[in-house]
Chains A and B, each alone.
Chain A
Amino acid sequence: MAQFLHASKTGQSLQAATAKTDAAPGLLQRLRAFYLRSDAAKGYTLLSPVMITMGLLLAAPLFLLVLYSFWTQTGLAIDQTPTLERYRDVVGKQSYIDIFWRSIQTSGLVTLVTVGLAYPMAYYVAFGVKKYKFVWLILLTIPFWTSYLLRVFSWKVILGYNGVINSGLTNLGVIQEPLEFLLYNQTAVIITLAHAYAAFAILPIYVSLEKIDRTLLEAAADLGDGAWSRFWRVTFPLSMPGVIGAAVLIFVPTTGDYVTPAMVGGPSGQMIANIIQVQFLKIGNWPLGAALALSAMAGVAILVILFSTAMRLAARSIR
């Protein structure tokens, strides 16, 4: 009703305004009336700035990336004849395959550690905390917003040859020589990523735990389930969407992480993003870099779909 009244009001004023300038006020007025009555038209008008921005800055670049991966670069010249050669280059080179699997392995372990540690934490906030839940949630999300670069950097300070652990242990007389295995390897990457992404896992798990109907737990208890089997048969399966969400939210960005392997990974800890960066900023073979990036994304997407399907089936089988 309100909108109808409003529509006719502006419709009239528009008619008055256009009558002077336009030859066909009737048509314009009808268009205007249609516009004001249509949710879709108004909605899309409001959405258009953000959609144009995202189209130009996200969709168009990604489209170009796909195009590039089918091109050939010799020297500085780009040959735009479509070819699958770049993908053949990627799949044919063993070192790329190795780095891809190492990235998957690293991210898989990071996801496991992070979700494993975050679950009890989220459980505590959802079920254990009565007062100040809000304070806990803020405390757990602050690191998410603080500088990723600096959080990774602090691990370099901790694990370094003359870093916190080595100088601390030497100082205490526990070790004579600094431990060299702390930094510049895959383990350092896993520790650093698990810490850097800790905040990502808690919220999705917390949300799914918080949503669980408490009467279901009471029902399970009434029917004689103990605390443990109640958790295993009711709480855990119902929190599965949060666990899967958290796992995907960690796995996907960590497979594509550049900063951590570059800063603490050393040669043996390099991941897929590092070789993509080299192709783009150092060697300058953009078509190959594009093919590398897209193959990796496709590979990760397939693994994520397989994983979440498997997890959903597993959760169903518990019940």
Chain B
Amino acid sequence: MSKKAPRPASRMGDPGRLLAGFALLYLVFLYGPVLFLPIFSFNDSIFVAFPLKGFTTKWYEQAFADEDMINALVASLQVGAIVAVASTILGMFGAKAITRYRVPGQSAVMAMIMLPLFIPEIILGISLLILLNALGIDLGLPVVVIGHIMLCTPFAMAVLSSRLEGFDRSLEEASLDLGETPWMTFWRVTFPLAAPGIISSLLLTFIVSFDEFLLSFFLTNQQPTLPVYIWSQLRFPNKLPSVLAMGAIILLASCLLVVLAEWVRQLGTSDRKVGLA
């Protein structure tokens, strides 16, 4: 057998360098277009066009002076907070059930819970609209909350069940053996061990709700959420710079929250490994 034939997959040589170059270009493609929002949000011109005219923060001042925009921001923050808590609680119950008990028909149940991720949002939006109409419920923020809970629960389930699967269930059994009630066992063993998962579920469901547009578009009435408000402002060219400013803030905040959420989740797992080693 020739000497150079078995080349391990780890040392990729030239094609590897080519791939690395491609990967960098891919990151530029992924992040580049979005960077234009923050860039033009500091540009001293009403037109979103080159050449850049000079640095200004007045679009940020304008954004925060826009009462409707602030109201929409507050609405979105409130909706997001309620949705995050509600869907994480639902997800926690569900995740505990499917990771701790042998539930017959589990895959069918999971398929139903995960279904919103695979159905186009427009279908979810119109069918919720029909339901609310049939029940005679008025549109508005409470209804948006309900729609978002349906949309966010699958994310909470996914994050939390992977977390609960990850830890040793004998810890819970030990607690029960030592005479704790199921509730105290949950509170003193399961909850602390699942805490990183819970935190990252709260953060991620908050982001999904906060950024969600189409369901809110169908379900809001007088008071829009921030994405719905931004959508309504895109028609007015003179509003564009302040929308850019708000958009830049949202993008930055979401990125930070996602990194935080993923970091917390990873931090939890490495701690656990060290702790049990």
**Chain B residue with minimal CB distance to A256?**
B120
Within 8 A of B (CB), among A36-69: 39-40, 42-47, 49-51, 53-54, 57-62, 64-65, 68
Number of interface residues of A (CB under 8 A): 95
Interface residue? B112 (CB, 8 A): yes
Within 8 A of B (CB), among A290-316: 290, 293, 297
- How would you classify the secondary structure of chain B's contact residues: helix, strand, loop or mixed? helix
Q: How far is the CA of A195 from the CA of B27 in the complex (A)?
A: 11
CB <8 Å contact, B34 and A146: yes
Closest 10 CB pairs of A and B: A256-B120, A43-B101, A167-B49, A61-B127, A46-B97, A43-B103, A57-B150, A50-B94, A147-B211, A61-B131
A27 to chain B, nearest CB (A): 23
Number of interface residues of B (CB under 8 A): 98
Interface residue? B255 (CB, 8 A): yes
Give the residue among A61, A140, A164 with the most B Cβ atoms within 10 A: A61
- How would you classify the secondary structure of chain A's contact residues: helix, strand, loop or mixed? helix
Segment among A85-93, A115-123, A180-188, A236-244 that sits at the interface with chain B: A115-123
- Specify which of B6, B34, B134, B182 is in contact with A151 (CB 8 Å cutoff): B34
CB <8 Å contact, A171 and B51: yes
**Chain B residue with minimal CB distance to A52?**
B90
CB <8 Å contact, B49 and A162: yes
CB <8 Å contact, A149 and B9: no
B95 to chain A, nearest CB (A): 9
CB <8 Å contact, B9 and A217: yes
- Specify which of B103, B174, B207 is in contact with A44 (CB 8 Å cutoff): B103
- Specify which of A61, A141, A167, A258 is in contact with B130 (CB 8 Å cutoff): A61
Interface residue? A154 (CB, 8 A): yes
Q: How far is the CA of A143 from the CA of B211 in the complex (A)?
A: 12
Within 8 A of B (CB), among A183-226: 195, 198-199, 214, 217-218, 221-222, 224
Interface residue? B15 (CB, 8 A): yes
